Each structure stands twice: as C-alpha cells, then as structure tokens.
C-alpha cells in the first residue's frame, strides 16, 4: 500500500461520537466494584447478626479497630514495614529469576541440566526455606527478604524461560547487523519481547510474595503485618486480625490500580487496539 | 555524485557451506562461490528459489559463521553494514523514527532525517508504530533505516517480495532515488530477472544448489535509459547468454 493510507480514517470524528458515552462507560466498572464490595459487607453484617460471637466480629467493629490503629500510627508503621519487605523481595526475585530464566530459555543444554533444580526448588515448601534461612543466617532482615525471594524465584524462572523460548530471533539478528549496543539490545529488543511474561510473573508474584512475607514476619520479625497478626492471634482479637489483613489487601489493590495497570498500559501502547 | 566510503571492494570466496538436518542428512548449499562487487556498484545475486542466495547473504551479514571460506567487506569511511531483510523486521514497540534512529551509531543518533523521510514518503508517519503501517510502508521504513546508517555496504534480501507489482515498482524507484543520492556498494538477492535488470550494474547469476557462479551479466546502460523497449532487449540478450538459466 502507499502513502495516503492513513488519511482516510478521521480519528477526530470517532472520538466525538464516543465522548458522550465514554464517561458512563468509564464509571460502570468502578460502580460495579463498589456495589459488589458493598454487597459483600452487607452479607458479612447479616452473618454476624445470625451468629454473634467474639470470634466473628462484624464490619463495623473491624472498621473501629482500623480507625484506632490508624490514629495511633501503628497501622502505618506495620504496613510500611511489610510493604518494604514485599518490594525488596519482589525486586530481588524478579531480577534474579528473570536473568536465570532467560539464560535457561536461550541455552538448551543448560536448561536440560538445571531443569531438575528448578523443579526441586519449586516444590520446597516456603516454610522450610524460611526456617532454614533464619537458622543459617540469623533472625535478620536480609534472611527474611532472601527467604521470600528464594520462594518466588523458581516461579519467575519458569515463566521467563517460556518468554525466552518465544523470543523472535529475527529481531536479535537485525540488532546484530546494525550493531546495537548491549544496553540498547536489552532495553529495545529483549525487554519489550519479554514484557507479557514479566507482567504475568509480576502479577502472580506480588500476591504470592506478600503472603510469604507474613509468614516470615510471624516467625522471626518484630514488626510488620505478620507480626501484628501473630500478636492479635495470641490475644484472640479477631477484629484486629481482620483489620490488618483488609488494610494490606486495600494497599495492594491501590498499587494494582495506580501502578501496575498504568505501567502495563504504557508498555502495550504500541499494540493495535482491538476494533 | 561520488561513491562514498568503500575503498576495498566486496570480495566473496566461500568454499563450502553445508547444512546438517536433524536426521543427520547433510545438504551442501554453497560450493566454490566466489565473486566481487566493485565499490559503489549495485549488484544483484540472481538465482532460482532455494539455491542458497539468502544463505550467502546471511554469511556476509555475519549471522552464519559455520562455513569454510572467506569474504571481505568494503572498508573505508564507515565500516558499517546495513541490511534490508525479506520481512521489514521493525521493532513493533518503537515508532518508525525510533526504529530508524536506534540503528544509527551514537554519533549520528540526532542527525537530521527530514530529507530521507521526505524522499521515501514517510514524513507524516514518523510517529506511527509499525502495526499501523501497511506492508509497503513498513518496507519503506526498513529502507530508511538502512540508508540512514550511511553504510559502507548495503545488503538487500528480496526486499520487494510479497508486494503487489505496482507497489513493488514504486518501491524500486524509491530505492534507486535514495541509492543514487549516495551510491553505496550494494548487493541485492532476487529471483526476479526484470527487477535485477532494472536496478543493477551487474548481475551475478547463480546455478542450482549447490550454488556457484554461472556467470556475470553487466548492464552498462545508465538506469534512466532502461525503458520497456531497452528492457526487452536486455532480457533477450540475457537469455542468449544464459539459456535456461534463471
């Protein structure tokens, strides 16, 4: 085809027609989520009335605890500690896992040799890794974060290995002919091709990591959401346990909405939008 | 205009290139293939499908090092090579302009590309992503990338394959326009005799596999005089020299 191809599609006209309904279409998913969550709270409140017990506080009670903990600053201190560990473990796991995964995916003999190791590490229970890390390296921050990362790395390796196997060699050849530098190759050729796999590994990664971080904190740290949950477990304070859990889930939801999704939209902006 | 860059010609001397299939069967793709492309000359490697033309090009591009023999790329000026592949091979996640600039060495990254984009009719499409281009436009972008690097030698691997004849014809003219502005030693692989006669100074005719040079066919006539009448004369004399060939 030739030059005037792009001229016959007036993008302005399309945008005008859709702008009236676009506000409504943008709000619908938000409304749906709000209504859905409200429904869950309502169901929870009904259940609490049907089975009144100290072990099953209602949403109002949990909210009171949440406000109290927020007011005295404990909530933010412990949320911050956990969030820091999640972030550190995530970065370590993604970087180490991606490098190993790409190497295994692009070298078949190495893959054949190390594949059993990956399976082995995939199947070691998180608890075992955490206990061993604390025994070998002491009850410190590095051991805690390292243990979480080691639990996640095999998952990242498996995903990124698939990504590396799916790399298109013609891009690498083009880069070789035009003598791209190493940095350009990684940034403009390798990473964009791995992006869907990175996104998949991140998604499943963050959810897994924060659950393991709680265990790590429960076993050997003196702050963080996991530590607080253990504390309130000993005090049999279910409302506080739920308050901390929900607060952290909310934080992760906000991260997903404000960080993960915009980054993903930016990374996939070049894809032709579905008609 | 003066030919730029190359002082040494492109010299190819490949003794043998063999492929080994998964079942252990070995196929000799090239044998005693040797030819030379003079500096600033546009040469075509013409041969039947599957005779090893692309294999030759991959060796020259340094993408296949598993062969016996040697070759010498033109030196002087820039030692860069550029290639236009069978597919455009643009990075889909970078715009047309970014694709072109990424191929440039650091010292040329910010150079003015307006003229080149204008000539190739890409001026309004610099900020589009490759998925938004038609195949013909994507091939123009691939040409822009190759010429922007100011290479010492340019390799083209059937760059107009899988285009309809009208688009291919227009692209051949564009190729000649940008090439004439800066005559670079060029080697183009094609199985299309008319295309070779229209574009090249010299046609290197290859035999069936294993590929070796059957002979040379020089087209001395300047390109602007190659009208349909002259082309059919050229075709006739080509067939006289290579009966049954290509």
Each residue's pLDDT tens digit, A107-147: 999 999 999 999 999 999 999 999 999 999 999 999 999 99
Contacts of B104 (CB under 8 A, 6+ apart): B111, B148, B149
Q: What is the mean pLDDT of chain B?
A: 84
In contact, B45 and B58? CB cutoff 8 Å: no
Rounded mean pLDDT of B122-130?
88
pLDDT of residue A151: 93
- The pLDDT of residue A101 is 94
Confidence of residue A96 (pLDDT cuts 50, 70, 90): very high
pLDDT of residue B136: 86
**Closest Cβ opposite residue B131 in set A176, A181, A272:** A272
For range A154-173, the mean pLDDT: 93
Owner of token pair 């290509």: B246
R_g over Cα of chain B: 18
What local confidence, expressed as pLDDT, does residue B89 receive?
92
Residue A10 scores a pLDDT above 50 = no
**Mean pLDDT along residues A245-270:** 86
Residue B114, classed as helix, strand or coil, is helix
Q: Is the pLDDT of residue B215 over 90?
A: no
Report the distance separating Cα A207 and Cα B128, nearest Å: 36
Q: What is residue B18's three-state secondary structure?
A: strand
Q: Which CATH superfamily is domain A76-237 in?
A: MetI-like (1.10.3720.10)
Highest mean pLDDT among A160-174, B151-165, B207-221: A160-174
Question: How much of chain A exceeds pLDDT 70, in percent?
Answer: 91
Which domain, by its residues, includes B30? 10-80+150-241
Confidence (pLDDT) at B223: 78
More confident residue, A4 or B196: B196
3-state secondary structure of A151: helix
Compute φ and ψ for B82, nearest 5 degrees: -135, 155
Q: Strand pairing partners for B71?
A: B12
Average pLDDT over residues A208-234: 92
Has residue B1 been placed in a domain? no
What is the per-residue pLDDT across A44-64, written as a single tens digit (0 to 9) for each? Answer: 999 988 888 888 898 889 999
**A266 contact residues in B (CB cutoff 8 A):** none
- Asked if B130 contacts B97 with a C-beta cutoff of 8 angstroms, the reply is no
Closest-CA residue of B relative to A179 is B103
**Mean of pLDDT values over A140-156:** 94
pLDDT, tens digit, for every residue of B101-113?
A: 998 888 888 888 8
The encoded tokens of residue A214 equal: 């709680």
Contacts across the A-B interface (CB distance below 8 Å): 73
pLDDT at position A148 = 94
**Interchain contact, A2 vs B105, CB within 8 Å:** no
Q: How far is A215 from chain B (nearest CA, A)?
A: 40
Q: Which of A2, A175, A272 to mutate to test the interface with B (most CBs of B within 10 A)?
A: A2
Residue with the bigger pLDDT between B13 and B83: it is: B83
pLDDT single digits (tens) B34-43: 888 888 889 9
CA distance B111 to B101: 9
Count the domains in chain B.
1
In which band, very low, low, confident or very high, does the pLDDT at B9 lie, cut at 50, 70 and 90? confident
Distance CA A233, CA A135 (A): 24
Say yes or no to pLDDT of A9 above 50.
no
Which CATH number characterizes residue B206's domain? 3.40.50.300
Least CB-CB distance to A271: which of B121, B131, B135? Answer: B131
């Amino acid at each position: 085809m030739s030059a005037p191809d792009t001229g016959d599609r007036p993008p302005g006209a399309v945008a005008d027609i859709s702008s009236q309904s676009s506000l409504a279409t943008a709000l619908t998913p938000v409304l749906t989520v709000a209504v859905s969550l409200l429904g869950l709270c309502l169901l929870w409140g009904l259940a609490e009335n049907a089975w009144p017990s100290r072990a099953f506080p209602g949403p109002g009670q949990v909210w009171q605890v949440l406000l109290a903990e927020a007011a005295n600053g404990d909530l933010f201190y412990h949320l911050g500690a956990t969030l820091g560990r999640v972030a550190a473990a995530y970065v370590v796991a993604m970087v180490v896992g991606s490098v190993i995964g790409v190497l295994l995916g692009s070298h078949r003999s190495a893959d054949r040799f190390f594949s059993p190791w990956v399976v082995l590490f995939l199947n070691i229970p998180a608890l075992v890794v955490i206990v061993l890390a604390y025994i070998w390296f002491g009850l410190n921050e590095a051991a805690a974060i390292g243990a979480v990362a080691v639990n996640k790395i095999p998952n990242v390796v498996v995903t990124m290995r698939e990504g590396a196997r799916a790399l298109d060699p013609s891009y690498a050849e083009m880069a070789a002919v035009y003598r791209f530098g190493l940095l350009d190759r990684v940034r403009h050729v390798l990473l964009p091709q791995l992006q869907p796999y990175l996104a998949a590994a991140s998604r499943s990664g963050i959810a897994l990591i924060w659950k393991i971080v709680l265990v790590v904190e429960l076993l050997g740290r003196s702050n963080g959401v996991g530590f607080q949950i253990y504390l309130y477990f000993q005090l049999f304070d279910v409302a506080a346990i739920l308050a901390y859990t929900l607060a952290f889930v909310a934080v992760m939801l906000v991260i997903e909405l404000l960080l993960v999704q915009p980054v993903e939209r930016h990374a996939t902006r070049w894809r032709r939008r579905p008609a | 205009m003066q030919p730029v860059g190359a002082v040494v010609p492109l010299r190819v001397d490949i003794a043998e290139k063999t492929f080994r299939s998964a079942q252990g069967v070995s196929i000799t793709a090239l044998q005693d293939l040797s030819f030379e492309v003079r500096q600033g000359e546009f040469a075509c490697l013409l041969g039947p499908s599957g005779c090893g033309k692309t294999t030759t090009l991959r060796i020259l591009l340094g993408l296949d090092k598993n062969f016996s023999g040697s070759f010498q790329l033109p030196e002087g000026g820039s030692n860069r090579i550029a290639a236009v592949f069978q597919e455009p091979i643009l990075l889909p996640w970078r715009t047309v302009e970014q694709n072109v600039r990424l191929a440039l060495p650091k010292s040329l990254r910010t150079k003015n590309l307006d003229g080149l984009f204008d000539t190739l009719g890409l001026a309004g499409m610099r900020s589009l992503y490759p998925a938004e281009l038609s195949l013909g436009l994507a091939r123009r972008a691939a040409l822009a990338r190759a010429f922007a690097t100011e290479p010492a030698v340019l390799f083209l691997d059937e760059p107009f394959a899988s285009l309809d004849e009208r688009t291919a014809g227009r692209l051949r003219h564009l190729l000649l326009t940008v090439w004439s502005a800066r005559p670079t030693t060029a080697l183009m692989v094609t199985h299309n005799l008319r295309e070779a006669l229209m574009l090249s100074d010299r046609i290197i005719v290859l035999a069936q596999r294993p590929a070796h040079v059957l002979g040379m066919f020089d087209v001395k006539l300047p390109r602007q005089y190659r009208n349909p009448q002259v082309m059919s004369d050229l075709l006739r004399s080509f067939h006289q020299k290579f009966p049954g060939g290509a």
